[in-house]
């Protein structure tokens, strides 16, 4: 009887010790205004399901100053002088940036190295299948809707902050345009290399067309701003940013439509 109780106590102590052992932590520092962070998010969600022995901490640094300070201190500990997001950190292993199709294996290798370093387990990167690539437009459409909501929200806060708020939305919108244009250009390039029997512009021509469209929108905005100043009106700078956002929203929808069409062609439909 005593032996049974002793064995049970030993088993209980071992179980409690295992339960109390802290899990290794994977940090995903990101910003709500960072398109590459948005692109990385689905892969991080996939990793959270595949690695239950790891604690994933997703820290947004654009609005949360505490999280920004955590990132700053972690970078100082690692001797990193220039930090950008997305920033992935586990143990002493870190990685900055993200590009779909290139960084997934790098992040898996980072996790593998950190797990070996902490003696938690040895999981080969190649033993975990990469998630099926989601429709690119789903993530980008979500970001476009978020930008529209953010623009509307600017008018619901402090009137003195509307200008700065709209400038942040404008920057976010411009970044989204760059991402969509870049992805559409890559698909065009792939389709030309695959010699698809379709009349498509070259990647360079498409990007040039988008650049010209942006210049046209910027010119129209500048004319309205000049008209505002000529009539002695107030807050013409704010009007310029507002019009830039208004002109940019339909352009983003057109860019998303282009991307979806190119995806359909690439799939052979």
- Looking at the structure, do residues 98 and 162 belong to the same domain, yes or no? no
Of the CA atoms within 13 Å of residue 136, those in its CB half-sphere come to 26
Task: Give me the phi and psi of 73, to 5 degrees please.
Answer: -70, -40
* Residue where a domain terminates, one of 101, 127, 153: 127
The enclosing domain of 97 has a CATH number of: 3.40.30.10
- Looking at the structure, do residues 154 and 104 belong to the same domain, yes or no? no
Q: What average pLDDT does range 67-73 have in this prediction?
A: 91
Looking at residue 197, its pLDDT comes to 53
Separation in Å, CA 105 to CA 47, 66, 89, 148:
12, 30, 15, 34
- Looking at the structure, do residues 19 and 120 belong to the same domain, yes or no? yes
Residue 250 has pLDDT above 90, yes or no: no
- Looking at the structure, do residues 116 and 145 belong to the same domain, yes or no? no
- Looking at the structure, do residues 29 and 140 belong to the same domain, yes or no? no
pLDDT tens digits, 170-207: 888 888 888 888 888 888 888 888 876 567 888 888 88
* Residue where a domain terminates, one of 127, 153, 184: 127
Looking at residue 136, its pLDDT comes to 60
- Looking at the structure, do residues 186 and 209 belong to the same domain, yes or no? yes
Separation in Å, CA 44 to CA 34, 55, 236:
15, 12, 42
- Looking at the structure, do residues 41 and 146 belong to the same domain, yes or no? no
* Rounded percentage of the chain residues whose pLDDT exceeds 70: 82
- Looking at the structure, do residues 17 and 106 belong to the same domain, yes or no? yes
- Looking at the structure, do residues 72 and 16 belong to the same domain, yes or no? yes
Task: Give me the phi and psi of 258, to 5 degrees please.
Answer: -60, -45
pLDDT tens digits, 202-232: 888 888 888 888 788 788 778 877 887 788 8
Residue 20 has pLDDT above 60, yes or no: no
What's the CA gap between 140 and 151, in Å, rounded? 17
pLDDT tens digits, 129-185: 655 555 566 777 888 888 888 888 887 877 778 878 888 888 888 888 888 888 888
The total of structural domains in the chain comes to 2
What's the CA gap between 87 and 68, in Å, rounded? 11
Looking at residue 130, its pLDDT comes to 57
Helix 162-193, helix 35-50: angle, nearest 10: 70
- Looking at the structure, do residues 41 and 162 belong to the same domain, yes or no? no
Cis bond before residue 86 (omega within 30° of 0): yes
Residue 95 has pLDDT above 80, yes or no: yes
Residue 35 domain boundaries: 2-127
Residue 26 has pLDDT above 80, yes or no: yes
72/268: higher pLDDT: 72
- Looking at the structure, do residues 105 and 74 belong to the same domain, yes or no? yes
* Residue where a domain terminates, one of 85, 102, 127: 127
- Looking at the structure, do residues 152 and 230 belong to the same domain, yes or no? yes
Q: Of 134, 140, 92, which is closest to residue 113 (Cα–Cα)? A: 92
Write 226-230 long-range contacts (CB < 8 A, 24+).
none
């Amino acid at each position: 009887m005593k032996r049974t109780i002793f064995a049970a106590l030993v088993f209980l102590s071992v179980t409690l010790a295992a339960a109390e052992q802290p899990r290794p932590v994977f940090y995903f520092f990101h910003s709500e205004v960072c398109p590459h962070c948005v692109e990385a998010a689905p892969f991080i969600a996939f990793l959270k399901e595949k690695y239950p022995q790891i604690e994933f901490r997703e820290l947004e640094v654009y609005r949360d100053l505490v999280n920004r300070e955590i990132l700053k201190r972690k970078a100082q500990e690692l001797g990193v002088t220039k930090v950008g997001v997305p920033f992935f950190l586990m143990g002493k292993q870190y990685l900055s940036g993200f590009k779909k199709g290139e960084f997934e294996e790098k992040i898996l290798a980072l996790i593998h190295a950190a797990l070996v370093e902490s003696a938690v387990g040895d999981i080969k990167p190649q033993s975990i299948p990469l998630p099926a690539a989601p429709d690119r437009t789903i993530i980008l459409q979500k970001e476009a809707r978020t930008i529209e909501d953010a623009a509307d929200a600017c008018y619901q806060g402090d009137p003195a902050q509307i200008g700065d708020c709209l400038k942040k939305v404008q920057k976010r919108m411009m970044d989204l345009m760059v991402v969509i244009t870049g992805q559409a250009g890559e698909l065009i390039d792939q389709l030309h290399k695959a010699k698809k029997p379709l009349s498509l512009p070259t990647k360079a021509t498409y990007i040039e067309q988008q650049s010209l469209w942006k210049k046209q929108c910027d010119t129209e905005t500048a004319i309205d701003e000049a008209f505002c100043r000529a009539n002695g009106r107030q807050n013409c700078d704010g009007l310029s940013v507002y019009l830039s956002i208004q002109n940019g929203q339909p352009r983003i929808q057109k860019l998303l439509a282009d991307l979806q069409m190119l995806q359909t062609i690439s799939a052979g439909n």
